[in-house]
A and B are shown apart, each in its own frame.
Chain A
Amino acid sequence: MPATAERPEILEVRALCAEYGNQAPMLLEILHDLQDKLGYIPEMCVPALAECVNLSKAEVHGVVSFYYDFRTRPGGRVTVKICQAEACRSMGAEALTEEILSRYGVTLREATAAGVTFEPVYCLGNCALAPAAMVGSELLGRADGPSLDAAILEAGR
């Protein structure tokens, strides 16, 4: 069994932190990049992160847990964010969310067998073309069941 410090995730942490000069103020950027690479922020990375940027583990944990973007467990293969804010509500976002969740047979944040996760989001800045959704990194305007299905299929490829 290799020592913890040799695990690839930890090596990734060290490399990323070094890229950002091991600077504590760059912690959010480091976390974003780490999540892009690993799909989530494994808890075992916290001590190494803390050590590299010279913060306490509690401080790093505090940051990871504060921001909605950072996941501490692997998410689905495709993430679908459906806007729940006012402009999208005025165009039926709630009904759309309900419809799609029941069709895929999951609740919010629960992955389907095919690895699709639906998440609520508050505003994607596409309020004139509500309801809005984001499938992977693809923004959808005037989203409806069929357009979401098509985008999910596309993103899953």
Chain B
Amino acid sequence: MSMILYVPDDAAALSVGAERVAKALMVAAGERGLDLKLVRNGSRGLLWLEPLVEWEGPDGRMAFGPVPPGEASGLLEAIVAGGDHPLALGPTEEIDYLKNQERLTFARVGVIDPLSVRDYEAHGGLAGLKTALTMTGEAICEAVLQSGLRGRGGAGFPAGIKWHTVRKQETAEKYICCNADEGDSGTFADRMLMEGDPFTLLEGMAIAGLATGARRGIVYIRSEYPHAISKMSRAIEALEEAGWLGGNIRGSGKDFRVSIRRGAGAYICGEESSMLNSIEGRRGTVRSKPPIPAIHGLFGKPTVVNNVLTLATVPMILAKGADFYKEFGMGRSRGTQAFQLAGNIRRGGLVEKAFGVTIRELIETFGGGTATGRPFRTAQLGGPLGAYVSDEMLDLPMDYEALAENKAMLGHGGITVFDESVDMAEMARFAFEFCEEESCGKCTPCRIGAVRGRETVEKILRGENVARNIALIEDLCELMTDGSLCAMGGLTPMPVLSAIRLFPEDFDRAPALAAE
């Protein structure tokens, strides 16, 4: 009987040596004449333990990590002898970080071989699409609406309403566009999902197609994710070959084809209308709304634009029912969210939990505090356009509304932690600089406001007329919030104002001595 080991083929795991570990294991097995089968799974999301190797033993999957390539041979030896090794972490599913999660969207990530249709089906995959094939489009949209699923890209708009709108448009041509331009610092859930369970995203897109009458889907993936691009391409081929994508899906008479388009390094293309322009082969500038993409989207046709996780969650909702999903969460934030613990954090990784978990539980219980061991200072929630939070805010629940009431936002669930060494005035400067770099340039508040904002913060950093310049920044931020066409200029004030509000001491600079 062959020995089965799992070594992740996820970009983050590879970035700390997973490929070298895989090769070293094969070499070591060859030397011992062992019949070793390596499964290249996605990452379990316990990123501080990568490369995490799992052994499928008589008592289930046992974890070892982080495994340096030089340890591969010794590890194999130990496993043959019964599994005792200094890097042993016990049964994977029993590791607290994983055990205390509520994995719905990520249930299969790290568990299955991402490109095996058979593995996918054996773990509940395709059940949603099978159900959807027996339903009317209206019923599918209704199920998604009833589940309470809101867009996971950040804005949190109810997915079911968007789908209903597209379904009701009477045109032959419609599109499902998956926004996989995950450009926010502190977020990597889309990438992990695409690399660890690409079929679930494709299944979700096919369901969206059945629901709305669209026969074409496009996944727009950022070029910074070459690994995800290649995984998704192979996943499309595999599902087409198995008859679950393409023409006449499983003899149903329904067609749904998916293709991939690569971004080209522009952050703004994560904004839905810029993304649509980019897919059309144009500059990624934003479009003014109305009309909304659900009515006038890609090539002017009705288009569902959803984030990776929104679409990837749909199959499970169809398979298990809207009520099952709805039971998770709090208030109007239903279901689960893939929180991403990033930056200066000891146990960084992906934590899927029902809405309502507090920021403190995520950073302290799961994350174990800062990586440097120095005191926590702040965390930025929801990407570079999200607010910074102070220590006093850590007991807030992760819920769209509760965070909004406290001038913060959930975004798509990223949490970037900083220790006490962070300079918040410098972070405010950086927020403007980022907006300046990445603004598409179409609207003045964003294009010019970002430049003026950066210059003004630089004056504050030099101690020039601090009070007056802070007032100027606040005024500028109000204008950017009210006058920008999209979230790039509209939300840049979030990190800036939260930094000023919560950490005023960092802005209280003394004027520099006169230059000699």
Contacts and interface: CB of A to CB of B under 8 A. Distances in A.
A68 B427 CA distance: 23
B419 interface: yes
A123 B283 contact: no
Given A63-B281, A69-B265, A141-B16, A128 B183 contact: no
Which of B190, B280, B416, B427 has the most A CB atoms < 10 Å from its CB? B416
B344 A25 contact: no
A50 interface: no
A82 to B, nearest CB: 13
Interface in A89-104: 89-91
A140 interface: yes
B183 A86 contact: no
B418 A123 contact: no
A14 B185 CA distance: 38
Nearest to B418: A90
A20 B437 CA distance: 31
Interface in A109-154: 121-130, 132, 134, 137, 139-142
B14 A123 contact: no
A86 B427 contact: yes
Nearest to A31: B264
A45 interface: no
Interface in B178-194: 182-188, 190-191
A31 to B, nearest CB: 7
A124 B345 CA distance: 17
A25 to B, nearest CB: 4
Contact of B348 (A24, A26, A128): A128
A84 to B, nearest CB: 8
B225 interface: yes
Given A122-B183, A125-B182, A142 B16 contact: yes
Interface size class of B (residues with CB under 8 A): 35 or more
A37 interface: no
A132 B422 CA distance: 18
A28 B264 contact: yes
A48 interface: no
B223 A86 contact: no
A27 interface: yes
Contacts, number: 153
Given A25-B279, A86-B185, A91-B344, A129 B265 contact: no
Contacts of B434: 85, 122
A126 B283 contact: no
A63 B278 CA distance: 9
Interface string B254-282: 00000001111111000000000011111
Contacts of B283: 62-63, 66
A70 interface: yes
Contact of B261 (A29, A63, A121, A127): A29
Given A28-B278, A90-B419, A142-B16, A127 B348 contact: yes
B371 A91 contact: yes
B262 A132 contact: no
A82 B124 CA distance: 39
B281 A25 contact: yes
B364 interface: no
Contacts of A86: 185-186, 343, 380, 384, 416, 427, 430
Contacts of A23: 281
Contact of A132 (B15, B264, B299): B15
B186 A70 contact: no
A32 B223 contact: yes
A24 B415 CA distance: 39
B47 A128 contact: yes
Contacts of B47: 128-129
Nearest to B431: A86
Contacts of B141: none
Interface in B280-325: 280-285, 299
Interface string A33-51: 0000000000000000000
B188 A66 contact: no
The CB with the most chain B CB atoms within 10 A, among A24, A63, A122, A127, is that of A127
B414 interface: yes
Nearest to B13: A141
B416 A66 contact: no
B185 A127 contact: yes
Contacts of B341: 128
Contacts of B422: 90
Contacts of A80: none
Contacts of A78: none
Contacts of A90: 343-344, 416-419, 422
Given A86-B427, A141-B12, A123 B183 contact: yes
A127 B282 contact: no
Interface of A: 23-29, 31-32, 53, 59, 62-63, 66-70, 83, 85-91, 121-130, 132, 134, 137, 139-142
6 contacts: A28-B264, A32-B223, A67-B266, A86-B384, A87-B343, A128-B12
Instruction: Give the 10 A-B CB pairs with smallest separation, nearest first.
Output: A128-B348, A85-B185, A127-B342, A67-B264, A141-B15, A68-B265, A27-B281, A90-B343, A69-B265, A69-B264
Given A29-B262, A128-B12, A129-B12, 13 more contacts: A28-B262, A62-B283, A66-B285, A86-B384, A87-B185, A88-B343, A90-B419, A121-B224, A121-B265, A127-B188, A128-B348, A128-B349, A141-B12
